Amino acid sequence: MASPKKKQTTRHVALLRGVNVNGITIKSADLKALFIELGFGAVRTVLASGNVLFDTDESDAGALRTRIEQALRKRFGYDAWIVLLKQKSVAEMAAGYPFERIDEERHPYIVFGSDPAMLDEVIEKAGTVDPKVERLKQGKGVLYWQCPRGESTDTPVSKLLAKTRYKSSTTTRNLRTVEKLLTD
């Protein structure tokens, strides 16, 4: 008698939007506990900005995202939105960063999106970006953005990304944070 085939688990990254800013405070230990309660394996939080690594054999990404968002809303009482990606995809996105990775005057960011049409719209609405101020380039499933240090909330692109319209589908991470998501 053949033994049942074991399901393959995949390492995922959940990027929560708006955590530990604007009065929404979630402790990393509480976030980790929720993901463990949801039945995920090898759960690890990275920094205090809403980054969770976990393993699951669930293959329906849309259902998985919805389940996590609903659990976050119920447990923490806020309008939770996440971008959910496979860790392998995040590694490919980070490797594709097209600007200088180390620049004493600029911060490197990746804008992740759960809705490709919203990323297209951001690129369109941003129009021609002044490279003396910031840089913006579309990648596969992401936007690559570089802005002056200390001005990540003051540039035209940052103001565009902050619009309520993009709240449910985009989140931004510093490239160094993204690279920390790839270490296990």
Model confidence pLDDT, tens digit, residues 129-176: 888 889 999 999 999 999 999 888 889 999 999 998 998 899 999 999
Examine the domain organization and report whether 84 and 94 are in the same domain. no
Are 75 and 32 in contact, with CB atoms under 8 Å apart? no
Final residue of a structural domain among 89, 118, 153: 89
Domain that holds residue 44: 10-89
Examine the domain organization and report whether 80 and 123 are in the same domain. no
The CATH number assigned to the domain holding 154 equals: 3.30.70.1260
Examine residue 99 and state whether it is found in any structural domain, yes or no: yes
Residue 135's pLDDT is what? 95
Query: Total domain count for the chain?
Result: 2
Global pTM value? 0.91
Q: Please list the residues that pair with 107 across neighbouring strands.
A: 147
* Whole-number Å distance between alpha carbons of 126 and 137: 10
Q: pLDDT band at residue 121, thresholds of 50, 70 and 90?
A: very high
In terms of Cβ atoms closer than 10 Å to its own Cβ (0-12, 13-18, 19+), residue 158 is middle
**Neighbour tally for 176: CB within 10 Å:** 14
Examine residue 96 and state whether it is found in any structural domain, yes or no: yes
Examine the domain organization and report whether 70 and 136 are in the same domain. no
Please write the tens of the pLDDT for every residue from 42-88: 999 998 778 999 999 999 999 999 999 999 999 998 889 999 999 99
Above 90 in pLDDT, residue 18? no
Examine residue 134 and state whether it is found in any structural domain, yes or no: yes
